[in-house]
Amino acid sequence: MKREVKDYLSEVEIRLKDEKSIDENFVSELLIRIGFYQHERLIHLIVTMTFAIMTVLSFAVLVTNYSIQILLLSLLFLGLVIPYIAHYYFLENSVQKLYRLYYKALDIVNRK
């Protein structure tokens, strides 16, 4: 997914350099893709928050009732939540960038 988003961002930026290639179809396609990425972002937010809550709860249980199994579980959750946060951060920033590119493309179409 990360490669797909990066490639699409590059493609949109390249097309925006040539204002003649921007039309209403491009803008509507861009809006649809933004919707897909927003949905992906929402799903990753839910997953990230779930793992963050599970991580905090496992560390709370670890503090109150220490055992090696709970320690391993806590470290496992921590090891999973960090990449989830990084991926969500990437998705959030990419969607925000697509918003800006959409507004730029919309401006180009409205000037024609």
Task: Give the per-residue pLDDT at 105.
Answer: 92
How do residues 55-64 score in pLDDT, each as one tens digit?
999 999 999 9
Domain count, the chain: 1
How do residues 5-52 score in pLDDT, each as one tens digit?
999 999 999 998 888 888 889 999 999 999 999 999 999 999 999 999
Domain carrying residue 50: 2-111
The token pair that represents 72 in the structure block: 């391993």
The residue type at 32: I
What's the pTM value of the predicted model, to 2 decimals? 0.82
Task: Give the per-residue pLDDT at 70.
Answer: 93
DSSP 39-74: HHHHHHHHHHHHHHHHHHHHHHHHHHS--HHHHHHH
Let me know: does 106 contact 21? Beta carbons within 8 Å.
Answer: no
Report DSSP state, residue 38: H
48 half-sphere exposure, CB direction, 13 A CA radius: 17
Mean pLDDT computed over 68-84 = 94
